Amino acid sequence: MTHAAHAYAKQHSDRFLEDLKHLIRIPSISTMPKHADDVRKAANWIRDEMEKIGMETAELIDMPEGRHPLVFGTWMGAGPDAPTVLVYCHYDVQPAELEDGWDTEPFEPTVKGDILYARGATDSKVNVITQLRAIESILATPEKSPVNIKFILEGEEESGSETINAFVAKHRDRLTADVSVISDGPIIAPDQPSMVIGLRGIIGMEIHVQGPVRDLHSGHFGGNVHNPVQAITEILAQLHDENGTVTVPGFYDDLIPVSAAEREAIAGADKYYEENWHKTAGAPKVWGEAGYTIQEKAGIRPTLELNGIWGGYSGPGVKTVLPAKAGAKITCRLVPDQDPTKIFEAIQKHILNLAPDTIKVEMFMQDMGAPAIRIPHDSKAAQTANQAYFNHWGKQAVMEVAGGSVPITSTFATVTDEVVLMGYSHKGGLAHGPNENIYLSMFDKGIGTAIDFLLLYGQS
Amino acid sequence: MTHAAHAYAKQHSDRFLEDLKHLIRIPSISTMPKHADDVRKAANWIRDEMEKIGMETAELIDMPEGRHPLVFGTWMGAGPDAPTVLVYCHYDVQPAELEDGWDTEPFEPTVKGDILYARGATDSKVNVITQLRAIESILATPEKSPVNIKFILEGEEESGSETINAFVAKHRDRLTADVSVISDGPIIAPDQPSMVIGLRGIIGMEIHVQGPVRDLHSGHFGGNVHNPVQAITEILAQLHDENGTVTVPGFYDDLIPVSAAEREAIAGADKYYEENWHKTAGAPKVWGEAGYTIQEKAGIRPTLELNGIWGGYSGPGVKTVLPAKAGAKITCRLVPDQDPTKIFEAIQKHILNLAPDTIKVEMFMQDMGAPAIRIPHDSKAAQTANQAYFNHWGKQAVMEVAGGSVPITSTFATVTDEVVLMGYSHKGGLAHGPNENIYLSMFDKGIGTAIDFLLLYGQS
């Protein structure tokens, strides 16, 4: 492609990278109330940039107190007969602290060789900047864009997407488009684009266990009080069998069987999943249900994961306490056709059944739930995306079922004719963990791909 | 008793209480390196007071770097033919933070009615001040003391007593005495003195579990990586059977059977243990091994207690992390004739056997171990203590086997002819937990009792 937008993008490449660094430095952690101002700061910056690059409208959409704003911009200059593309990104990030195991300050982008390290680099600020600067590059050309553009960003992807889901439900007309481009999630390898045809759903919950009414001296009461830390381990240890299968009654009831043809279709991605497992996870041994590949264990099978556990004393030295309380965070990754609420209720019921009468147990569903989805891979959007990736990577995309969740995908599937996922980070990018990173050599290719998707979608 | 020392103590009662508050305000937390200066500050204050009240020697004894000083004072004015009493206290305390569940600042003594709340009130600064001011009251009289007095205090009771154990081993001659008075631990009820004839031993350890080499995205890896939080629950849940009995092979091998006569001897304390359980623990139901009373479960049976557990994310909101690590703190309360090191090794071996090859497990023995002890209750010291308590409480002491550990007791049993435990706090005092407290109405009685013990021991 030799469109003038590419020349513009190349010319402004250094500035685009500085923009990415600027956005990363704003710790827009949506799950932590103390960072609410940072989330808003990131939103305002994006809104201002939309205005600067020539979007016709650019606004912050506020929702009830305690929620984070949407950013929504439009450019409808291609006219009513041209197709309309709705681009989605999120500008919020997961929490990160240096002591979690980072080698560098998580909110100070640090470049070592071809790699930039920072919280949000992969998930998902690279996508925000890529889409923003692709649109800028097209609107900067004399021809402008062959498609109308709606660009919506949320600040709560990491904490449940409540605001955008409510907005979409109420304002379907404002979002009408031919295609939604969900710009989140990685490609399978830095040199291999990929097309996600399945995403897992998610539901989050907490379990709280109370034993005695207060922390006790483990000498005076050890032996006659059921220790809640012990009790929570006794409960949680019963949630998987020795094969790694979840033991909650009903957990697998609503699974749609995966056909041999579907498993064949994604087998081309297996080697990337295996390589990435050894490089990124590096655990002593692969774990999980027998009879499934590494990709399938994370893609077509649901999970019950303990994201955190706490109780008693964890500081230095010995504290001979018999704690009053213990707790744990659980998320389940879901596959078609599991219902998030129904899964929560099944787990809650099972855990309350397991709880002995020497302790009290409470379960809380957290503000985060989405069903799994499957995306058709023979649509116009998918074919266009594949061509755009090919133009810049020189390779056809492989198909995969991703283990992560992009809950908004199913929401947008209800308001546009088709949906496609186009991400510009890579799978080894350590999203949500320490030393999250992107390859700088992918950055310009990503902007080129995003430009081409808009141009090609307007041609066909 | 109408000895002039009692009149002196009564006259200075208000000042003595202010001394207790002053000492409490120094957060002498021996397990936390950042409080090392506070521990030393408390030691210096006690040493200076020893000098002021007329002890002939008063010194700080330093040990290698990173350890906390002993305070050692002597008054040998009763002459070589008089008996010598060695009094032991500890001036260090457990950690405490307001957010652990305290109603008041833990290091600001707060009086509500007859109760004073503060970390260290019960365990064990009330004993430090009681002994210090009892000695002052006697030395302030014209007759001085009928017994020679050695007064030794350590600042590491809550973190392993390494320093005092090393000192005793090297300087037995300096500590020679007829009787050791271990002034630590509570009496059974504010209005009922008690004599401890058994104490449990203790050994502390940590278990560390590592799964992947770094925190991972629970979408990308959930299902093919063994979650270390899940793994640690699966291991820890296997350490007790459904009856509460410890399943570690060999754990009960060295137990000396408790005779029916011994169980009969302590049965008089049962009602206090039951009352205190309901008042202080307040758990939904009594737990533990069948066939034992509440007192016996905590006194004559050993335990394996989880003092703390950690892993992954425990902050607000959802974090979809598959953590790299998890850990837990364990202490065992031991009974005769369990050996602390042997018990650690048995647990370590069992846990390493339980660990699957999908994770790595390490065990660390912590710097804290002491065997259990039994104390003769028909000795001169015990009879003298009983009479001293009777003089001020108007009741004979009941016998009990205490569940806590006072490791130094067995150390002193090797350097003096006899040992006795005399504490001046009460069992509901919430040692080690939030809202630790003492009854002010016990304070003067305690000083009176401590005075009488010294006077009576000199008469007989």
Q: Is B409 on the interface with A (CB under 8 A)?
A: no
Q: Is A220 on the interface with B (CB under 8 A)?
A: yes
What sections of B366-433 are H helices per DSSP? Answer: 380-393, 408-412
Residue in chain B nearest A232 by alpha carbon: B233
B405 touches B370 (CB < 8 A): yes
pLDDT of residue B368: 62
- Which residue in A95, A282, A314 is closest to B212 by CB distance? A282
Q: How far is B158 from chain A (nearest CA, A)?
A: 8
At A23-43, the pLDDT tens digits run: 999 999 999 999 999 999 999
At B426-445, the pLDDT tens digits run: 988 989 899 999 999 999 99
Residue A356 makes CB contacts below 8 A (sequence gap 6+) with A226, A231, A234
- Which residue in A100, A298, A435 is closest to B220 by CB distance? A298
Q: How far is B133 from chain A (nearest CA, A)?
A: 28
Grouping H, G, I as helix, E, B as strand and the rest as coil, residue B66 is coil
Check whether B1 has a pLDDT greater than 60. Answer: no
State whether A321 and A406 are in the same domain: no
Greater confidence (A460 vs B262) lies with B262
Q: Is A294 on the interface with B (CB under 8 A)?
A: yes
Chain B, residues 34-93, CB within 8 A of chain A, namely none
Check whether B63 has a pLDDT greater than 90. Answer: no
The whole-number average pLDDT for the span A364-384 is: 84
CB contact under 8 A, B432 and A368: no
Where does a domain end: B336, B353, B370? Answer: B370
Where does a domain end: B326, B350, B370? Answer: B370
Q: Which of A123-137, A404-418, B16-30, B99-113 bottoms out in mean pLDDT, i.e. has the lowest?
A: A404-418
Task: Return d(Cα B267, Cα B264) in angstroms, integer.
Answer: 5
Residue A264 lies in a domain: no
Residue A157 lies in a domain: yes
State whether A181 and A218 are in the same domain: no
**What is the sign of the dihedral through the CA atoms of B202, B203, B206 and B207?**
negative
Q: Is A366 on the interface with B (CB under 8 A)?
A: yes
State whether A206 and A181 are in the same domain: no
B397 touches B355 (CB < 8 A): no
Query: B interface mutation test: which of A305, A330, A406 has the most B CBs within 10 A?
Result: A305
- Which residue in B220, B234, B240 is closest to A427 by CB distance? B220
- Which residue in A214, A287, A403 is closest to B433 by CB distance? A214
Confidence band of A368 (pLDDT split at 50, 70, 90): low
Residue in chain A nearest B298 by alpha carbon: A223
Cis bond before residue B178 (omega within 30° of 0): no
Domain range spanning residue A306? 201-255+302-370
Q: Is B390 on the interface with A (CB under 8 A)?
A: no
Residue in chain B nearest A157 by alpha carbon: B318
State whether A19 and A145 are in the same domain: yes
pLDDT of residue B367: 67
CB contact under 8 A, A313 and B305: no
Check whether A161 has a pLDDT greater than 90. Answer: no
Q: Is B198 on the interface with A (CB under 8 A)?
A: no
Measured between beta carbons, which residues in chain B are less than 8 angstroms from residue A323? 307-308
Residue B324 lies in a domain: yes
CB contact under 8 A, B319 and A329: yes
State whether A345 and A377 are in the same domain: no
Helix (H) or strand (E) holding B419: strand B416-421
Q: In the sheet that B84-90 helps form, which strands lie side by side, from edge to edge?
A: B57-61, B70-75, B148-154, B84-90, B177-182, B416-421
CB contact under 8 A, B359 and A283: yes
Q: Is A323 on the interface with B (CB under 8 A)?
A: yes
Torsion of CA A156, A158, A162, A163, to 10 degrees: 10
Check whether A244 has a pLDDT greater than 60. Answer: yes
Confidence band of B197 (pLDDT split at 50, 70, 90): confident
What's chain A look like in SS3?
Answer: CCCHHHHHHHHCHHHHHHHHHHHHCCCCECCCHHHHHHHHHHHHHHHHHHHHCCCCEEEEECCCCCCCCEEEEEECCCCCCCCEEEEEEECCECCCCHHHCCCCCCCCCEEECCEEECCCHHHHHHHHHHHHHHHHHHHCCCCCCCCEEEEEEECCHHHCCHHHHHHHHHCHHHHCEEEEEECCCEECECCECEEEEEECEEEEEEEEEECCCCCEEHHHHECCECCHHHHHHHHHCCCECCCCCECCCCCCCCCCCCCHHHHHHHHHHHHHHHHHHHHHHCCCCCCCCCCCCHHHHHHCCCEEEEEEEEEECCCCCCCCEECCEEEEEEEEEECCCCCHHHHHHHHHHHHHHHCCCCCEEEEEEEEEEECCEECCCCCHHHHHHHHHHHHHHCCCCEEEEECCCCCHHHHHCCCEEEEEECCCEECCCCCCCCCCEEEHHHHHHHHHHHHHHHHHHHHC
The whole-number average pLDDT for the span B34-41 is: 96
State whether B24 and B169 are in the same domain: yes
Query: A interface mutation test: which of B306, B409, B425, B427 has the most A CBs within 10 A?
Result: B306
A106 touches A119 (CB < 8 A): yes
Q: Which of A178-182, A343-347, B417-421 bottoms out in mean pLDDT, i.e. has the lowest?
A: B417-421
At B123-172, the pLDDT tens digits run: 999 999 999 999 999 999 999 999 999 999 999 998 878 889 889 989 99
Task: Return d(Cα A233, Cα A240) in angstroms, integer.
Answer: 12
Cis bond before residue B103 (omega within 30° of 0): no
Number of structural domains (chain B) is 2
Confidence band of A367 (pLDDT split at 50, 70, 90): low
State whether B92 and B205 are in the same domain: no
Helix (H) or strand (E) holding B421: strand B416-421
Greater confidence (A197 vs B290) lies with B290
pLDDT of residue B460: 66
pTM of the model: 0.77
Q: Is A314 on the interface with B (CB under 8 A)?
A: yes
Task: Return d(Cα B283, Cα B298) in angstroms, integer.
Answer: 15
Check whether B2 has a pLDDT greater than 80. Answer: no
Check whether B378 has a pLDDT greater than 80. Answer: no
Measured between beta carbons, which residues in chain B are less than 8 angstroms from residue A326? 309
Residue B92 lies in a domain: yes
pLDDT of residue A396: 86
Task: Return d(Cα B221, Cα A276) in angstroms, integer.
Answer: 10
CB contact under 8 A, B204 and A360: no
Residue in chain B nearest A213 by alpha carbon: B282
pLDDT of residue A215: 96
CB contact under 8 A, A287 and B358: yes
Measured between beta carbons, which residues in chain A are less than 8 angstroms from residue B329? 312-314, 318-319
Residue in chain A nearest B279 by alpha carbon: A213
Confidence band of B457 (pLDDT split at 50, 70, 90): very high
Residue B446 lies in a domain: yes
- CATH number of the domain encompassing residue B146: 3.40.630.10
CB contact under 8 A, A403 and B223: yes
State whether B326 and B353 are in the same domain: yes
Where does a domain end: A339, A370, A401? Answer: A370
B453 touches B435 (CB < 8 A): no
A318 touches B307 (CB < 8 A): yes
Check whether B376 has a pLDDT greater than 60. Answer: yes
Distance of CA B231 to the CA centre of its chain: 33
CB contact under 8 A, B306 and A230: yes
Residue in chain B nearest A222 by alpha carbon: B298
Task: Return d(Cα A279, Cα A294) in angstroms, integer.
Answer: 13
Residue in chain B nearest A122 by alpha carbon: B217
- Which residue in B217, B331, B427 is closest to A220 by CB distance? B427
Query: B interface mutation test: which of A279, A304, A318, A365 has the most B CBs within 10 A?
Result: A318
pLDDT of residue B396: 87
Q: Is B121 on the interface with A (CB under 8 A)?
A: no
Nearest CA among B346, B418, B335 for reference residue B378: B418
State whether A390 and A451 are in the same domain: yes
Residue A262 lies in a domain: no
Residue B405 lies in a domain: yes
Confidence band of A460 (pLDDT split at 50, 70, 90): low
pLDDT of residue B340: 94
Confidence band of A261 (pLDDT split at 50, 70, 90): confident
CB contact under 8 A, B427 and A160: no
Q: Is B285 on the interface with A (CB under 8 A)?
A: yes
Paired residues of A73 in beta bridges: A58, A151
State whether B13 and B131 are in the same domain: yes
- Which residue in B226, B280, B305 is closest to A222 by CB distance? B305
Chain B, residues 149-168, CB within 8 A of chain A, namely 158-160
Nearest CA among B388, B419, B421, B408 for reference residue B196: B421
Q: How far is A302 from chain B (nearest CA, A)?
A: 8
Tokens (6 digits) for A76: 């409808």
CB contact under 8 A, A215 and B359: no
CB contact under 8 A, A312 and B314: no
- Which residue in B283, B311, B404 is closest to A308 by CB distance? B311
CB contact under 8 A, B312 and A309: yes
Percent of chain A with pLDDT over 70: 99
Task: Return d(Cα B423, Cα B89) in angstroms, integer.
Answer: 10
- Which residue in A123, A220, A313 is closest to B403 by CB distance? A220
Task: Return d(Cα A363, Cα A235) in angstroms, integer.
Answer: 13
- CATH number of the domain encompassing residue B352: 3.30.70.360
State whether B154 and B220 are in the same domain: no
State whether B237 and B382 are in the same domain: no
CB contact under 8 A, B357 and A284: yes
Residue B183 lies in a domain: yes
A63 touches A166 (CB < 8 A): yes
Q: How far is B238 from chain A (nearest CA, A)?
A: 8
CB pairs < 8 Å spanning A and B: 389
Measured between beta carbons, which residues in chain B are less than 8 angstroms from residue A310? 309-310, 314
At B327-361, the pLDDT tens digits run: 999 999 999 999 999 999 999 999 999 999 999 99
Measured between beta carbons, which residues in chain B are less than 8 angstroms from residue A403? 219-223
